[in-house]
Amino acid sequence: MHEQSTKPVVLLIDDAIDIHRLLETRLRAEDLELVSILRGAEGLETAKRINPALILLDLNMPDMDGFEVLRLLKADPQTVDTPVIVISGSDQTADKVTGLDLGAIDYVCKPFNFPELRARVRAALRIHHLMQLLAQKAHIDGLTGLWNRQHFDERLAEEVAACERNDRSLTVVLCDLDNFKSLNDSYGHAAGDAVLQGFSRQLGQLIRRTDIACRYGGEEFAIILRDTDAASAMSLLERIRSELASMVWPRHPERSVTASFGLCDGPPGARNDPNAWVEAADKALYQAKEAGRNRIVVAGGNPGDAMPLAKAG
Ligand SMILES: [Mg+2]
């Protein structure tokens, strides 16, 4: 299955079976997996489904010409960033200009010069890889290396929808470092940053690979625990809470740092609104603060019923 492959997937859309045979042979030595489609419309559908790293697109096809396929690929948010190399029998300047202006990254003429085609494919795959790294970087918090708020919002919407569809369990946690402002005031912002980084590192080590830890903002963190019941979520959070409380900080060994946690779990059902999950976790976090900090509170009742609450310190 191409989805499980770690090699980049290249989608070839061309109505000529000979071209498929030829490219399969000539690209065999490259570090990629070739998926072959003979029709424009099916190529579009496949591109959306498998999200390839590169599309090689013929222009002259009977059902839908390559320009139209390219136009539709670039009009769809799911495929707009997928690089496309037009492969065409036409070496007309007008066709090259049209293809490139429609958003193709490159234009290669048939018959192929294979060393050149391979080099162009490699160059396009390098660009795709760099674009993916950049996109990922835009979702990472610079100070802590955790995912950022934007990533949390996107992933939460996905996870809540998946949880609804598949009847899976999900736990959303909001966590806030206790008395962080006073720590900053007493020891300076560098000490505060060191705490944020130290806690983030610890968080990253304790959660499972499938969990998603984010810096929600300031000294607030959000964690999405997937396929987790309340009991295992509690035991994980308890470990995070107690390990943080016992950490010794080089800049202020006399002062420990604690955090409060609000947790929303429970069976999916009416909980298909991501905001309701966050509000419920936030309410529980507020209760943890009110009850004296350095503790975990599980949200009660339906998150849809959660009341908006003012922020505690
Ligand atoms: Mg053709």
Residue 270: per-residue pLDDT:
58
Distance, CA of 302 to CA of 305 (rounded, Å): 5
Distance, CA of 177 to CA of 245 (rounded, Å): 11
Name the burial class of residue 73, with classes exposed (0-12), middle (13-18) and buried (19+) by CB atoms within 10 angstroms of its CB.
Answer: buried
Question: Ligand 1 mean position to 39 CA, how many Å?
Answer: 9
Residue type, 214: C
Question: Ligand 1 mean position to 49 CA, how many Å?
Answer: 23
Question: Ligand 1 mean position to 33 CA, how many Å?
Answer: 21
Question: Ligand 1 mean position to 76 CA, how many Å?
Answer: 23
Question: Ligand 1 mean position to 112 CA, how many Å?
Answer: 14
Residue 161: per-residue pLDDT:
85
Question: Ligand 1 mean position to 48 CA, how many Å?
Answer: 21
Low-confidence ranges of the chain (pLDDT < 50): 1-4, 268, 301-313
Question: Ligand 1 mean position to 115 CA, how many Å?
Answer: 21
Question: Ligand 1 mean position to 122 CA, how many Å?
Answer: 23
Question: Ligand 1 mean position to 281 CA, how many Å?
Answer: 56
**How close are the terminal C-alpha atoms of the chain, in Å?**
50
- Domain boundary assignment for the chain: 2-137, 149-305
Residue type, 59: L
Question: Ligand 1 mean position to 61 CA, how many Å?
Answer: 5
Residue 266: per-residue pLDDT:
64
Question: Ligand 1 mean position to 60 CA, how many Å?
Answer: 4
Question: Ligand 1 mean position to 197 CA, how many Å?
Answer: 55
Per-residue pLDDT tens over the stretch 74-97 = 999 889 999 999 999 999 999 999
Question: Ligand 1 mean position to 85 CA, how many Å?
Answer: 14
Residue 4: per-residue pLDDT:
44
Q: Does domain 2-137 have CATH number 3.40.50.1820?
A: no
In the CATH scheme, what is the homologous superfamily, with its name and number, of domain 149-305? Reverse transcriptase/Diguanylate cyclase domain (3.30.70.270)
